[in-house]
């Protein structure tokens, strides 16, 4: 098993800096959670302090943090930095789809823009507590819109810009948004006229709650404007008042709703509140990214997802970071785009998803090697288990073996990072998210809820107690909140993930629990088999699912993408089977291996196993909903070439 010790230079300068210190702070945070979280809360500026740090009862799915306290999230991300004399420092570096376009906004600029936008929303009738839906691409006004909502106490509900009109409609209706903020059209990769406003128009045909649409002019492409309903952003701000006092919010007032898909069809409106979320995102951003003033920090996620909310906007901005926001995609105009941006803006901290790394790794080392990546100091990943080959590629080719990699495990529901290495502290092992963050108390339980003590165990990942940014409810459906997260293992928060704890007490996420395949009575994690297949030098990516087998119960079907330019030889299948057999055991050997150009993925890069399971099981007449796929055309070729 490979492992990597913290590099001395990082260690000497890190906030925590040694495993002993981590253990000491961690123990304190667990033994005295209220003391610990009261101290961490000092990084936020409060208008009024709390009466009680926490109150919770998992049996009722009732959780509150910093009750009685008052604050404003936008004030914490913008105003106070200006008040403290940092107004001229850069807050946001925006990089356009094409390298010819980029923009820098200082904290002063941001304060001006946010107040204008906040007053524009007010002039459209938005009041404290109202929901505002935001449906945009990655343009600066998106960040401004979030902060403007937070400033006036409106609850934002961001819907990822690639969602269809139908998805937008159902999300707007679920939370009864009053105003929709969008843009004329969008540019992303080779797409230069994504019909955002036209999609919005289709959606709002059936959304009675929407009174106004605020439209940013991004491309200038003609769009229809309904005069009694639609307002141009630039016109609204031109006539808006320039000052807008931040609303005084209670710590438990909602900050935002963000939809996430569940095991059933209807997406859940995950609701986060203000105080605990701000404390947790800023604390985790500080320690995990070890952010030092002036550093350039780039999280490549889209603000349409939780990672963008917590680690492009709220966490970094509360910490007065310079945060990069990118409109485009990693492979446009070519596979060097990420690295070109790293070189151009001298990015120090880079946070991305394993799926992006795999896509880039597949194209070879020449792209990153064309650029100067010396500025990079720390790398991070999120979203799915990272496997050894891409971890090693990230470590050696991108990080030049000198950057710590933080593999951060968390969820939309958790609001912030929960299990992660700390730079300069944790000896990392490729594929492991390692240890819990301060205040986080994970536990592994078997399917009957029995606690699995000690090391070398594998089970369901639960949390024994809340942390400040845990979601507070499913919007409009508290029962669903309780049922989904607190009923399976009473008294505990159930993540829905499987996990093992190794001989060193490190956590390894094995994937969603529903991704476990039982073959001849053996529990097999799809992630584990995929990791093993990925060990074959020609393999770029693999996804395995179970399909019914008369004798074993289930058998394994592997969908495998080879690296560009690699040929399938008559030996490839046997070689892969051999590797899996050697890594895990004969019971894990895929019975069928189908080579494919691509895998069915959601727009956030998650493989939709349900579809693969259906293909593998020959259920091709009922593949289920494929409308949320990034590229639905891969399905047809998978079906036609199934084994
Ligand atoms: C998975 C994203 C392994 C996990 C922030 C989780 C991970 C789900 C990791 C949440 C990681 C996220 N290693 N698996 N570092 N990070 N996951 O809500 O299954 O989009 O439950 O939040 O992604 O996805 P979500």
Q: What is the pTM of this model?
A: 0.85
Residue 263 has pLDDT above 60, yes or no: no
553 vs 542, more confident: 542
Residue 454 CB contacts under 8 Å (≥ 6 apart), including other chains = none
Taking the centre of ligand 1 as the mean of its atom positions, its distance from the CA of residue 193, in whole angstroms, is 31
pLDDT in tens, 298-353: 999 999 999 999 999 999 999 999 999 999 999 999 999 999 999 999 999 999 99
Return the domain boundaries, the chain. Answer: 8-74+252-511, 104-247, 520-640
> Residue 266 has what pLDDT?
64
Residue 554 has pLDDT above 80, yes or no: no
Q: Is 384 in the pocket of ligand 1 (CB under 6 A)?
A: yes
Ligand 1, closest atom to CA 305? 20
> Residue 265 has what pLDDT?
42
Ligand 1, closest atom to CA 412? 18
Residue 516 has pLDDT above 70, yes or no: no
Q: What is the mean pLDDT of residues 26-48?
A: 98
> Residue 262 has what pLDDT?
54
Convert 185-235 into a string of H (helix), E (strand) and C (coil): CEEECCEEEECHHHHHHHHHCCCCCCCEEEEECCCCCCCCCCCCCEEEHHH
> Residue 518 has what pLDDT?
62
Ligand 1, closest atom to CA 512? 19
Nearest alpha carbon to residue 153 among 237, 252, 64, 84 = 252
384 vs 48, more confident: 48
SS3 445: strand
Residue 145 has pLDDT above 90, yes or no: yes
Residue 136 CB contacts under 8 Å (≥ 6 apart), including other chains = 142, 145, 161, 181, 182, 183, 186, 196, 216
Per-position DSSP letters for 97-140, written without gaps between them: SSTT-EEEEEHHHHHHHHHHHHHHHHHTT--TT-EEEE---S-H
Q: Is 260 in the pocket of ligand 1 (CB under 6 A)?
A: yes
Q: What is the mean pLDDT of residues 590-598?
A: 93
Taking the centre of ligand 1 as the mean of its atom positions, its distance from the CA of residue 334, in whole angstroms, is 28
- CA contacts within 13 A on the Cβ side of 457: 15
- CATH 3.40.50.980 describes domain 104-247: yes
Q: In this prediction, what percent of the chain has a pLDDT beyond 90?
A: 80
Say what angle helices 275-288 and 33-40 make with each other, to 10 degrees. 80
Q: Can you tell me the distance from the alpha carbon of 407 to that of 228, in angstroms, rounded to the nearest whole number?
A: 49
| Protein residue closest via CA to atom 6 of ligand 1 | 411
Residue 625 has pLDDT above 80, yes or no: no
Ligand 1, closest atom to CA 495? 21
Residue 605 has pLDDT above 90, yes or no: no
Q: In this prediction, what percent of the chain has a pLDDT beyond 70?
A: 97
Helix (H) or strand (E) holding 479: helix 478-485
What's the pLDDT band for 517 if we cut at 50, 70, 90?
Answer: confident
Same fold, 104-247 and 520-640: no
Q: Using an 8 Å Cβ cutoff, are 148 and 117 in contact?
A: yes
Residue with tokens 């669903």: 480
> Residue 306 has what pLDDT?
95
Q: Can you tell me the distance from the alpha carbon of 468 to that of 69, in angstroms, rounded to the nearest whole number?
A: 13
633 vs 483, more confident: 483
Q: Please provide the average confidence, as pLDDT, over all residues in the chain.
A: 93
Residue 577 has pLDDT above 60, yes or no: yes
Q: Can you tell me the distance from the alpha carbon of 310 to that of 282, in angstroms, rounded to the nearest whole number?
A: 9
Q: What phi, psi does 283 have (nearest 5°)?
A: -65, -45
> Residue 522 has what pLDDT?
60
Of 269, 409, 416, which is best to mutate to test ligand 1, by the most ligand atoms within 8 angstroms of its C-beta? 409
Taking the centre of ligand 1 as the mean of its atom positions, its distance from the CA of residue 445, in whole angstroms, is 19
pLDDT in tens, 172-228: 999 999 999 999 999 999 999 999 999 999 999 999 999 999 999 999 999 999 999
Q: Is 543 in the pocket of ligand 1 (CB under 6 A)?
A: no
Q: Using an 8 Å Cβ cutoff, are 314 and 303 in contact?
A: no
Q: Is 112 in the pocket of ligand 1 (CB under 6 A)?
A: no
Taking the centre of ligand 1 as the mean of its atom positions, its distance from the CA of residue 408, in whole angstroms, is 8
Length of the chain: 643
Taking the centre of ligand 1 as the mean of its atom positions, its distance from the CA of residue 554, in whole angstroms, is 26
Per-position DSSP letters for 572-627, written without gaps between them: HHHHHHHHHHHHT-GGGS-SEEEE-S---BBTTS-B-HHHHHHHHTT-TT-----T
Q: Using an 8 Å Cβ cutoff, are 371 and 342 in contact?
A: yes
Ligand 1, closest atom to CA 408? 15
Q: Is 306 in the pocket of ligand 1 (CB under 6 A)?
A: yes
Q: Using an 8 Å Cβ cutoff, are 44 and 463 in contact?
A: no
Q: Is 409 in the pocket of ligand 1 (CB under 6 A)?
A: yes
Q: Which CATH number is 8-74+252-511 given?
A: 3.40.50.12780
Q: Which of 125-129, 241-245, 635-639 has the lowest mean pLDDT?
A: 635-639
Q: What phi, psi does 250 have (nearest 5°)?
A: -75, 150
Q: What is the mean pLDDT of residues 435-455?
A: 97
CATH topology of domain 520-640: GMP Synthetase; Chain A, domain 3 (3.30.300)
Ligand 1, closest atom to CA 420? 15
> Residue 520 has what pLDDT?
63
Q: Rg for the chain (alpha carbons), in Å?
A: 24
């Amino acid at each position: 098993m490979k492992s990597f010790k913290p590099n001395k230079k990082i260690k000497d300068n890190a906030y925590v800096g040694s495993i002993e210190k981590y253990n000491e702070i961690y123990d304190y945070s667990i033994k005295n959670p209220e003391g610990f979280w009261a101290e961490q809360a000092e990084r936020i500026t409060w208008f009024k302090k709390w009466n009680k740090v926490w109150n919770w009862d998992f049996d009722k799915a009732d959780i509150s943090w910093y009750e009685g306290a008052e604050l404003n999230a936008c004030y914490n991300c913008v105003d106070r930095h200006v008040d403290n004399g940092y107004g001229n420092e850069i807050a946001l570096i925006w990089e356009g789809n094409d390298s010819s376009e980029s923009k820098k906004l200082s904290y002063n600029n941001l304060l001006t823009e946010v107040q204008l936008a906040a007053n524009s929303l007010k002039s459209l009738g938005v009041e404290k507590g109202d929901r505002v839906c935001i449906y945009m691409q990655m343009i600066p006004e998106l960040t401004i819109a979030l902060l403007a909502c937070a400033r006036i106490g409106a609850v934002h509900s961001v819907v990822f810009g690639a969602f269809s009109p139908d998805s937008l409609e159902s999300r707007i209706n679920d939370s009864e948004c009053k105003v929709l903020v969008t843009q004329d059209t969008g540019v992303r990769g080779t797409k230069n006229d994504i019909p955002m406003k036209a999609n919005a128009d289709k959606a709002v045909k059936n959304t009675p709650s929407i009174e106004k649409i605020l439209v940013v002019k991004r491309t200038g492409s003609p769009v229809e404007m309904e005069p009694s309903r639609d307002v141009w952003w630039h016109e609204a701000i031109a006539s808006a008042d320039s000052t807008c006092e931040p609303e005084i919010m209670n710590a438990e007032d909602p900050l935002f709703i963000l939809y996430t898909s569940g095991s059933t069809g209807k997406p859940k409106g995950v609701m986060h509140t203000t105080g605990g979320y701000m404390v947790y995102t800023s604390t985790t951003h500080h320690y995990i990214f070890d952010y030092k003033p002036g550093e350039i920090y780039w999280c490549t996620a889209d603000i349409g997802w939780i990672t963008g909310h917590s680690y492009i906007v709220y966490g970094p901005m509360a910490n007065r970071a310079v945060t990069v926001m990118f409109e485009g995609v990693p492979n446009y105009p070519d596979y060097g785009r990420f690295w070109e941006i790293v070189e151009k803006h001298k990015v120090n901290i880079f946070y991305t998803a394993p799926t992006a790394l795999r896509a880039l790794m597949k194209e070879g080392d020449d792209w990153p090697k064309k650029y100067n990546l010396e500025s990079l100091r720390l790398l991070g990943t999120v979203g799915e288990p990272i496997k050894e080959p891409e971890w090693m590629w990230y470590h050696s080719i991108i990080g030049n073996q000198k950057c710590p990699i933080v593999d951060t495990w968390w969820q939309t529901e958790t609001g912030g990072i929960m299990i992660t290495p700390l730079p300069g502290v944790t000896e990392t092992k490729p594929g492991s998210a390692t240890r819990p963050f301060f205040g986080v108390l994970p536990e592994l339980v078997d399917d009957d809820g029995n606690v699995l003590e000690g090391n070398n165990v594998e089970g369901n990942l639960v949390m024994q107690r809340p942390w400040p940014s845990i979601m507070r409810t499913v919007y409009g459906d508290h029962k669903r909140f309780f049922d989904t997260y607190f009923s399976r293992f009473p008294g505990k928060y159930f993540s829905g993930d499987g996990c093992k704890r190794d001989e060193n007490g490190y956590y390894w996420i094995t994937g969603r629990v529903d991704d476990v395949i039982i073959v001849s009575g053996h529990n097999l994690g799809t992630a584990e088999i995929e990791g093993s297949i990925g060990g074959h030098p020609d393999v770029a990516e693999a996804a395995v699912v179970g399909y019914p087998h008369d004798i074993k119960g289930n058998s394994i079907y592997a969908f495998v993408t080879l690296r560009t330019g690699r040929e399938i030889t008559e030996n490839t299948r046997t070689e892969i089977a051999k590797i899996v057999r050697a890594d895990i055991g004969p019971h894990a050997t895929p019975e069928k291996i189908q080579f494919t150009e691509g895998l069915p993925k959601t727009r956030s890069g998650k493989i939709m196993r349900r579809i693969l399971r259906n293909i593998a099981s020959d259920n091709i007449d009922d593949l289920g909903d494929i409308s949320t796929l990034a590229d639905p055309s891969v399905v047809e070729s998978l079906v036609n070439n199934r084994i």
